């Protein structure tokens, strides 16, 4: 069943795939009170959807850092011809999730002063798809509650900078950033259709740029900046004595990275949002696309099914070939 949605307004979400709740918003909302008709949560409990009797729906985005946010959830539709395709980096364009989970693992090992430390399989949904600080907050809470996020971040960025430089120099972890199968053909097919392409990532610049640069080198596609019409990432990390840019508290599942890419990077007005689609492999990314007002297409091998955010996807595909058939 589709919750409060019809063909005229577009797709909202499939409520049968989400978790039904009696209350939400960390106690601010309850079914049957102040016009609230239904409340649903994603499988990872990161986002709750508050459905009102008047048809309006708001999304309550939780935050382990203490800054939750509320956004309207609007119906989405895909109107052709498309003006733009917005694409996630990690897991969608480039397969690097194992590498970044390994970095989180190495950071936790450093905090514990235990080089043999390893994460458990059940940790995986909580150390991928969200911000660095949220990943670290989870590990600290579970494995080393006497440590701080600030201390963990220092270790994380020291390890990251060293490992990224090693990769650039050809001495780092092998196959860290593998282009997703079919990426090259898909990107050139979009170019042939004169569809603008935006690359969107919650990763900081120092993480994101080497990833896509390395992938493009493997594909012999030249300079990514000359290929993509816009590349938006979470900016630069804040370190002592150095300026930082916003990115840790407002990454996916917040809408701002996708909204920034479409409106500022590509110059597409919000009124034309139905001619824009986003492609994601993570639950946080799917929510981000939808809160920005765009149609979300999920691609396999991420955590979309586990997070139950396929409920928000207009389509869920195995590969880029399937996606191209849908948007053509």
Could you tell me if 39 and 24 are in contact, meaning their C-beta atoms sit under 8 angstroms apart? yes
- The H-or-E segment that residue 288 falls in is helix 283-291
Structural tokens at position 98: 């194992």
pLDDT in tens, 13-70: 999 999 999 999 999 999 999 999 999 999 999 999 999 999 999 999 999 889 999 9
Is cis: bond before 81, omega within 30 of 0?
A: yes
Residue 168 DSSP symbol: H
- pLDDT of res. 257: 96
CB count within 10 Å of CB 92 equals 24
pLDDT in tens, 125-156: 899 867 788 999 999 999 999 999 999 999 99
Using CA atoms, how far residue 286 sits from 66, 129, 188, 278, in Å, is 22, 10, 24, 8
Percent of the chain with pLDDT over 90: 76
Rounded to the nearest 5 degrees, what angle is found at the Cα of 201, between the Cα atoms of 199 and 205?
Answer: 100
The answer, yes or no, to whether residue 243 has pLDDT greater than 70, is yes
First to last CA, the chain: 27
């Amino acid at each position: 069943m589709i919750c409060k949605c019809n063909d005229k307004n577009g797709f909202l979400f499939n409520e049968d795939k989400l978790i039904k709740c009696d209350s939400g918003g960390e106690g601010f909302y309850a079914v049957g009170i102040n016009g609230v008709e239904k409340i649903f949560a994603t499988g990872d409990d990161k986002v709750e959807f508050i459905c009102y009797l008047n048809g309006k729906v708001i999304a309550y985005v939780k935050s382990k850092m203490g800054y939750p946010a509320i956004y309207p959830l609007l119906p989405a539709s895909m109107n052709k011809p498309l003006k733009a395709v917005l694409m996630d980096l990690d897991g969608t364009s480039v397969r690097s999730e194992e590498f970044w989970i390994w970095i989180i693992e190495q950071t936790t090992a450093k905090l514990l002063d235990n080089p043999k430390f390893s994460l458990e399989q059940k940790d995986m949904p909580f150390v991928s798809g969200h911000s660095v600080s949220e990943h670290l907050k989870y590990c600290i809470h579970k494995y080393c509650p006497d440590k701080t996020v600030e201390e963990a971040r220092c270790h994380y960025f020291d390890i990251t900078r060293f490992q990224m430089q090693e990769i650039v120099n050809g001495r780092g972890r092998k196959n860290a950033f593998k282009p997703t199968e079919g990426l090259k053909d898909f990107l050139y097919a979009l170019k042939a259709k004169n569809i603008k392409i935006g690359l969107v990532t919650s990763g900081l610049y120092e993480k994101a740029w080497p990833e896509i640069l390395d992938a493009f080198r493997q594909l012999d596609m030249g300079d990514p900046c000359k290929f993509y019409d816009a590349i938006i990432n979470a900016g630069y990390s804040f370190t002592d004595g150095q300026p930082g840019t916003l990115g840790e508290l407002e990454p996916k599942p917040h809408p701002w990275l996708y909204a920034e890419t479409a409106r500022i990077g590509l110059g597409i007005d919000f009124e034309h949002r139905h001619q824009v689609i986003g492609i994601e492999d993570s639950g946080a990314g799917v929510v981000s696309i939808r809160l920005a007002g765009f149609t979300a297409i999920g691609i396999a091998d991420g955590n979309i099914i586990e997070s139950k955010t396929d409920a928000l996807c207009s389509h869920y595909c195995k590969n880029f070939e399937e996606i191209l058939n849908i948007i053509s």
